[in-house]
């Protein structure tokens, strides 16, 4: 529920209300507005007498939160969130493009592609160190060595880093090396993992599950925020449908739906959504036109020999061309790159 305080409520009154809510077993989320303060109270309200709050000094009204995702939804936090990834802001007017190979294969290759995506305008470097592969016989990633390579690439280029974490046991290590932790589609409902990244302070890129509804996805975000980490960025990466022409079906409409119901930023991943490099530019443009706050795109210097996802990876020059097209689309929808 949302406890709305009267205009001009004193600091002491606000503190007393918050204290009472905590005593009644709620987690509190105060939001200090220019005119009024509201306190989001998350917990089981069935057994409390509402008057214990409503009749307190300074309280104006109590509004129930109807959506199941209380913290990820827009009822409590009305303003769109802008999330800071080591200085790169996601969710503002400026679009953020993350790019890099599916997997980190070696330092020389990784730094070389990093320099190229940076030159084309990417601000965050992606690369998998722990790879969630469908086959146990496929390349599983360089793990710790991969993280060290990422850190070296950041030193060399200044790009911020995002990488996937697949296991609760690796969260602490991954957190030390990168600026944003990715929860992959296959782990969107790994609740222990969500809680683990939720108890940290680094931004989390939460990909939509292979067959997850938007509500399930936002409930996964709720798990993270409920642990105290409000820095969640959603990523639409395509869902499973009966269509086989593309690897997944990119749910473009998820972008306006999420914008309508959540304050969290949302980006799109046209690489995993389509599975084919030739469709990536159109879907990247479509996502920006639909209101996405950014993109994550796989780029590889030698796609035929990539150790993972070569077929959907753009070459650096193709990525450069796409960035030029994207600035035109961005301008048309009141954004910029």
Instruction: Restricting to residues 248-287, name those near ligand PEP by CB under 6 A.
Output: 269, 272
Cβ nearer to ligand PEP, comparing 59 with 103 = 103
Using CB atoms within 10 Å of the CB of residue 332, give its burial: 0 to 12 exposed, 13 to 18 middle, 19+ buried. Answer: exposed
Site for Mn ion in 68-127 (CB under 5 A): 102
Q: Binding residue for ligand PEP (CB under 6 A) from 41, 185, 252, 306?
A: 185
Q: Based on CB atoms, which residue is closest to Mn ion, 53 or 280?
A: 280
Q: Which is nearer to ligand PEP, 1 or 193 (CB)?
A: 193
Q: Of the listed pieces 2-10, 49-57, 182-190, 326-334, which binds ligand PEP according to CB under 6 A?
A: 182-190
How far apart (Å, rounded) are the C-alpha atoms in residues 177 and 163? 9
20 contacts ligand PEP (rule: CB under 6 A): no
Residue 293 binds: one of ligand PEP, Mn ion, none (C-beta under 5 to 8 A by kind): none
Q: Are 68 and 215 in contact (CB under 8 A)?
A: yes
Show contacts with ligand PEP in window 88-117 (CB under 6 A). 102
Q: How far is the CB of 63 from ligand PEP (least distance, A)?
A: 36
What whole-number distance in Å separates Cα of residue 196 and Cα of residue 45?
26
Alpha-carbon gap, residue 179 to 173, rounded angstroms:
12
Contacting Mn ion within 307-326 (CB under 5 A)? 309
Q: Which stretch binds ligand PEP (CB under 6 A): 58-66, 86-94, 178-186, 280-288?
A: 178-186
**Which tokens sit at 138?**
């496929």
Name every residue whose Cβ is closer than 8 Å to that of residue 321 and which is 6 or more positions away in sequence. 281
Could you identify the residue written with the tokens 């800071």?
Answer: 84
User: What are 23's two structure tokens?
Assistant: 């005593």
Q: Which is nearer to ligand PEP, 45 or 186 (CB)?
A: 186
How far is Cα 34 from Cα 14, in angstroms, rounded to an integer?
Answer: 15
Phi, psi torsion values for 156, nearest 5 degrees = -75, -40
Residue 9 structure tokens: 């409520």
Residues 130-149 that bind ligand PEP (CB under 6 A): 132
């Amino acid at each position: 529920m949302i406890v709305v305080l009267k205009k001009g409520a004193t600091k002491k009154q606000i503190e007393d209300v918050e204290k009472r809510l905590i005593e009644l077993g709620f987690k509190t989320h105060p939001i200090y507005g220019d005119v009024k303060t509201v306190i989001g109270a998350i917990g089981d309200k069935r057994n409390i007498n509402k008057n214990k709050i409503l009749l307190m000094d300074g309280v104006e009204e109590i509004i129930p939160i109807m959506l199941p995702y209380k913290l990820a939804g827009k009822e409590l936090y009305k303003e769109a969130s802008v999330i800071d990834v080591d200085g790169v802001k996601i969710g503002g007017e400026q679009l953020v493009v993350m790019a890099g190979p599916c997997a980190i294969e070696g330092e020389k290759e990784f730094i070389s592609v990093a320099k190229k995506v940076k030159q084309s305008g990417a601000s965050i470097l992606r690369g998998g160190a722990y790879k969630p592969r469908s086959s146990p016989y496929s390349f599983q990633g360089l793990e710790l060595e991969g993280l060290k390579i990422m850190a070296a690439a950041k030193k060399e280029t200044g790009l911020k880093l995002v990488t996937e974490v697949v296991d609760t046991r690796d969260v602490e290590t991954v957190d030390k090396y990168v600026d944003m932790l990715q929860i992959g589609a296959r782990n969107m409902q790994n609740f222990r993992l969500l809680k683990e990244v939720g108890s940290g302070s680094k931004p989390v890129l939460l990909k939509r599950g292979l067959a997850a509804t938007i509500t399930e996805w936002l409930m996964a975000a709720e798990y993270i925020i409920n642990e105290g980490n409000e820095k969640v960025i959603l990523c639409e990466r395509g869902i499973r449908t009966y269509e086989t022409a593309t690897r997944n079906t990119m749910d473009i409409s998820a972008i306006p739906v999420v914008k309508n119901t959540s304050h969290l930023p949302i980006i799109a991943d046209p690489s995993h959504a389509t599975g084919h490099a030739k469709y990536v530019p159109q879907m990247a443009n479509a996502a920006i036109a639909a209101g996405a706050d950014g993109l994550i795109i796989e780029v590889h210097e030698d796609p035929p020999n990539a150790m993972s996802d070569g077929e959907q990876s753009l070459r650096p020059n193709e990525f450069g061309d796409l960035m030029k097209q994207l600035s035109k689309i961005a301008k048309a929808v009141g954004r910029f790159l």
